[in-house]
Chains A and B, each alone.
Chain A
Amino acid sequence: MTLEVRGITIANRLEAITTALQQGEIIAICGPNGAGKSTLLAALAGLLDVDAGEVLLDRDPLSALPPRKRAQAIGYLPQSGEVAWDVSVASLAALGRLPHGDAGKFAIASALAATDMSDFAARPVSTLSGGEKARALLARVLAGTPRWILADEPLAALDLSHQLNLLKVLRAQARQGAGVVLVVHDLAVAMNHADRVLVLDKGRLAADGKPEDTLDAETIARVWSVDARWLGQAGERALVTQS
């Protein structure tokens, strides 16, 4: 159960990225602005035409899969958080069932329960707070019961407790066997919560591996041009920068 990229290149955005991701892990994609994080995530979701290389889902080229089959396997949460119409939380979550073409009542109820949004099912999206809306959007992805959850900066604009809450939900999904890939800006989040980190720099893969190995002071200095060091124990590290 792998999601694999083999030498994918997208002009001016990504260059010859190769890596294989395993289900059951939380994988963080980190890098400075413009490094190609969102582009890599969208390519993993099969949403971009690549100039070279290919994305493979369980060894099959993603581009050869029918869109609905691909959508059943991979849930994608874009950064925009757009919900154009003021639908209810339940209707929003139900959109996750579109690739399956069924009502999926059980899956929707489970997704709302997993994100702690069951009590909000009838609420219009416009009445939700930022944290509630982020959970509702994640519920939409979970309702599709995807094997892969790809989320572009799902923690941006969330306060600390909502961040932890969302990470808890994602960790639970990974434990149940889903592959979770997140674009993350906060290196401490990646360090403490990810099983694996991909560091991108100017469209290239600068580091790939365990958080302690990929987000060490040397890599941070090289990629972000910031002198920084980690404090604290594993799982609760904090990053201190020196100016």
Chain B
Amino acid sequence: MTRANLILIALLVVVVPLSLLAGRVWVDPAVTPNAIPILAELRLPRAVLALVVGGGLGAAGAAMQGYLRNPLADPGLFGIAPGAALGAVIALYLGVASAILLPLFALIGAGGAMALLALIAGRTANPAHGIALFTLAGMMIASLAGALTSLAISLAPNAFAMSSIVTWLMGALTDRSWADVMLAAPLTLAGMLLLWLAGRDLDAMTLGEDAARSLGVRPGRLMALLVLGTGLTVGSGVAVAGIIGFVGLIVPHLVRPLTDKRPSSVIVPSALAGALLVLVADVVCRILPLVTELRLGIALSLIGGPFFLMLLLRMRRGLA
């Protein structure tokens, strides 16, 4: 167990119980009426979902940065989150967005983006072009899915459908149930396992693609692990919570200094820190005294944007 993992697990042990008590109504199990049902049916599934979604985004971000050897990579770049969002938006557009169908549509969207990505980038004659092709294909899928999502919004049959699409896209964990947890948790865990399995190959990628291949890395296998791994983690995250940005980008930066900086050593702490970040951000959304609850996606972008600018300023100073 590394230092980073120990620190993060200790923080989670403290924060998870506290998060259950925090909200518009602060729950005191001894005093609050209906405390047990509130905790068991509302707060606990929401907290578990925050951990699952955040953990998946953190792990996917760490793996993507390792693969592209670029600290600015984000799982959103590869079209999987936009693909999942498009699936969900289609469900909302068609008015079939039930608690089961919406995540299902989102998963189909994520799967479609993954398949397209694998189809385009998976069979290159020259393996040295794999990553460039992968990135370009991902970006094109992302912008295509984004354009189709905008199209769905502009063609929305009524104001209600339009508002529900726009609101959903902002990302939130409000009113989620155990059913969402049951859907997202196994898929995210499976995805995280695949990303973890890619760890050693990602370490080899530190030396560049040619050196990695000379160390026995099979580029096709690595790409398959990453496409499936991010597809499952990010896709199921978007399916239950909408678009939640910045976590995959920021979290690996936060934990990297606590590790020995090999990509494989960043994945697990990033999952833990992502879980912590989304949980805390969700609690902040709940307790802010606003008329309507702040959307989690907006909150994370509001925290993440300035934070990232600060990081860049520090990097610039380091480079100067």
Contact = CB atoms under 8 A, between A and B. Distances in A.
Contacts of B204: 95, 98
Interface in B192-238: 200, 203-208, 210-211, 213-218
Given A71-B214, A76-B214, A95 B203 contact: yes
Nearest to B69: A84
Given A84-B208, A98-B215, 12 more contacts: A45-B214, A47-B210, A67-B218, A70-B216, A83-B207, A84-B206, A88-B260, A92-B206, A98-B216, A99-B215, A99-B216, A140-B207
5 contacts: A47-B213, A71-B215, A98-B216, A99-B215, A101-B200
A68 B260 CA distance: 25
B211 A82 contact: yes
Contacts of B200: 98, 101
A140 B204 CA distance: 11
Q: 6 closest pairs, A vs B, by CB?
A: A76-B214, A71-B216, A84-B69, A68-B216, A82-B208, A67-B216
A87 interface: yes
Contact of A76 (B69, B70, B211, B262): B211
B261 interface: yes
B264 to A, nearest CB: 10
A80 B216 contact: no
A67 B218 CA distance: 7
Contacts of A84: 69-70, 205-208
A85 B213 contact: no
B207 A87 contact: no
Nearest to A85: B261
Interface of A: 42, 45-47, 49, 66-68, 70-72, 74-78, 80, 82-88, 91-92, 95-96, 98-99, 101, 140, 144
Interface in B243-272: 256, 260-263
Contacts of B208: 78, 80, 82, 84
A66 B215 CA distance: 11
Contacts of A47: 210, 213-214
Given A47-B210, A76-B210, A95 B261 contact: no
Contacts of A46: 214
Contacts of B211: 76-78, 80, 82
Interface bin, chain B: 20 to 34
A85 B71 CA distance: 9
B217 A87 contact: no
A42 B210 contact: yes
A170 to B, nearest CB: 17
Contacts of B203: 95, 98
Nearest to A96: B215
Residue of A45, A68, A77, A87 with most chain B CB atoms under a 10 A cut-off = A87
A192 to B, nearest CB: 28
A101 B217 CA distance: 12
Contacts of A68: 216
Given A42-B210, A76-B210, A95-B207, A86 B215 contact: no
Contacts of B70: 84
B263 A85 contact: yes
A46 to B, nearest CB: 8
A148 to B, nearest CB: 11
A55 to B, nearest CB: 13
A2 B150 CA distance: 61
Contacts of B214: 45-47, 71, 74-76, 78
A181 to B, nearest CB: 13
A92 B302 CA distance: 37
A177 to B, nearest CB: 20
Nearest to B70: A84
A36 to B, nearest CB: 16
B188 to A, nearest CB: 25
Contacts of A140: 207
B261 A86 contact: yes
B206 A95 contact: yes
B300 to A, nearest CB: 25
A85 to B, nearest CB: 5
B215 A87 contact: no
Contacts of A96: 215
Interface in B11-68: none
B287 to A, nearest CB: 37
Contacts of B217: 67, 98
A20 B191 CA distance: 46
Contacts of B260: 87-88, 91
A145 to B, nearest CB: 13
B206 A83 contact: yes
Nearest to A69: B216
Given A91-B260, A91-B262, A82 B207 contact: yes
Contacts of B207: 78, 82-84, 95, 140
Residue of B208, B211, B260 with most chain A CB atoms under a 10 A cut-off = B211
Contacts of B216: 66-68, 70-72, 98-99
Residue of B205, B208, B216 with most chain A CB atoms under a 10 A cut-off = B216
Contacts of A98: 200, 203-204, 215-217
